[in-house]
Amino acid sequence: MSTGLIIALIVIVAAVVVVAAVLTMRARGRHGGRDLRRRFGPEYEHTVARHDGDTEAAERELTERLERHGGLRERPLEPAEREQFEARWAAAQEHFVDSPREAVAEVDRLIAEVAGARGFPDGGQYEEQLAALSVHHAGHVHGYRRVHRVAQTGTGTTAEGGTGADTEELREAMVEARALFEELTRPEQRAPLSHKAQHAHRPHRFHRHQIAGR
């Protein structure tokens, strides 16, 4: 094989590699930069921070989430399912006064179950479920992340040995998680609600010794 032919083959192979790289970058670009920042909002910033400011690594992860879960279609809840989930949230909210840790743990389980009922990965696959939720509910997914963290790891005691700061952190986590719960349980179509459902949807107000509503 002549030297000229070898050089020609090398040039052709290099050109193919360059074209493939450009096409790959363009494909990723459809989900990159501004589009990813717009779609994921606070979740974009959270992912960049988790990658120690490495924007490219964060965007690769977010692009992979879109590719895995972007085609997911959420299943509407049946009215009876919705009422059951809302009743459980109300019960956890009331239980918070006496047992804040148990209430937060119940909220963690409840959101996982609601998400599973809507068609997201099962709650036993927390990381995968969270990734899927971040694609479709990016604005509120951090509340689930926070309530899961405090439910799984708990919090320390204060310097004086009390639990006031702990209870406040648990309260804030539960309040933040409510936004995602409400999105997942919101009816797909507006229709006249039963008296029980209207009561469940009515914003809850609490005394100062209870968990504060939004």
Q: What is the pLDDT of residues 123-142, one digit of tens each?
A: 789 999 999 999 999 999 99
**SS3 for 175?**
helix
pLDDT tens, residue by residue, 68-109: 999 999 999 999 999 999 999 999 999 999 999 999 999 999
If we measure between CA atoms, which residue out of 172, 175, 177, 67 comes closest to residue 114? 177
Separation CA 169–CA 174 (nearest Å): 9
Residue 51: band (very low, low, confident or very high) from pLDDT cuts 50, 70, 90: very high
Separation CA 192–CA 59 (nearest Å): 43
Report field, pTM of the whole predicted structure over 0.75: no
CB 100 within 8 A of CB 34: no
